[in-house]
Structure 1
Amino acid sequence: MPADGAGLGGAGAFVEQVLDDAGLGWVRSGDLRPVLATRYRRTTLHLPGARAGAGPAADARITVDTGLTWSLPGGRALTLPGLAVVETKSGAAASAADRALWRAGHRPSRVSKYGTGLAALRGDLPDNRWCPVLRRHFSSLTPVPAPSPDRTLPCD
């Protein structure tokens, strides 16, 4: 990437302003490098009045991300066909959508697509907070690249 941040599609000046505002003015946009690409298809559902009698504040939103693919700059990639990441947003109280998911056996779990993707693709990284997510929800994954002799799956 050029030193002026041109590889950011013209956003180099914006990135540098945000870094300056955050007290990180010593980091230049040209020093930044991509480490992971995350792609998915998102469907957003709006559930008006998802909590009976609570008015507009009871509205809920559900996002469903499918076709999740993580890829490293070197070309290694992992695609998760047939899986969906479902997120509900419903304010302080559980919505009808939350309760329906619970009845179906789906419990809330914190997930970072970025952190989980790096943990899945980079077996050289130390165990981190996303390893339990991989073990619980993505246990059928095979390691990419091939594991070292002392490690059979990422986060094992």
Structure 2
Amino acid sequence: MCMCVDGVLRFASYYKDHMVLQKSPERAVVWGYGSEGSQVKFTLSGQHQQKISQATVTNDPVEAGGPYNVTVAVQNITAVLTDVLFGDVWLCGGQSNMLFEVYKIFNASEELKRAAHYPHVRTFMASLAQSKTEQTDLIDVQIPWSVPPLYLAGFSAVCWLFGRDLYDSCSTP
């Protein structure tokens, strides 16, 4: 859920403002680190409140939509994520061709202007480095959760175009 280090409360590295959590019927999971036995209060836009003593919250299913605020509190220390949406979360992965950035496509300036019409298609990029030991958090977040067109020029063109087209396909009645 969260981590309290030297009186500072924080979520795991990939839980940030503007993020997307998986919509119902699945249950979104929010986690991080916490002191053994500490009571954590979890609130979703003032609606759902849970008191837990563990580092993971499995949220009740939430219908697609938002934005929501996700708040966690330990005693008088609070951490808040804002502008959180619930929807479908898609992962892109692959080799070097997946790193071909939006600014390099033939119609880049047009695509970057068009991106402002897709505020519900959020982007996030992390590098998964090899490790000989288990990692409990992402080491290298290259592009934090963001609303387009912020950071979009350096984002994967394949992932962006797939996400935008998928959004158009799923949003049309």
Larger Rg: 1
Question: Same fold by TM-score, threshold 0.5 exceeded?
Answer: no
Which category of TM-score, normalised to the shorter sequence, fits these structures?
under 0.3
Instruction: Between the two structures, name the one with larger relative contact order (CA 8 Å, sep ≥ 6).
Output: 2
Q: Which has the higher strand share?
A: 2
Higher helix share: 1
TM-score using structure 1 length: 0.26
TM-score by length of 2: 0.24
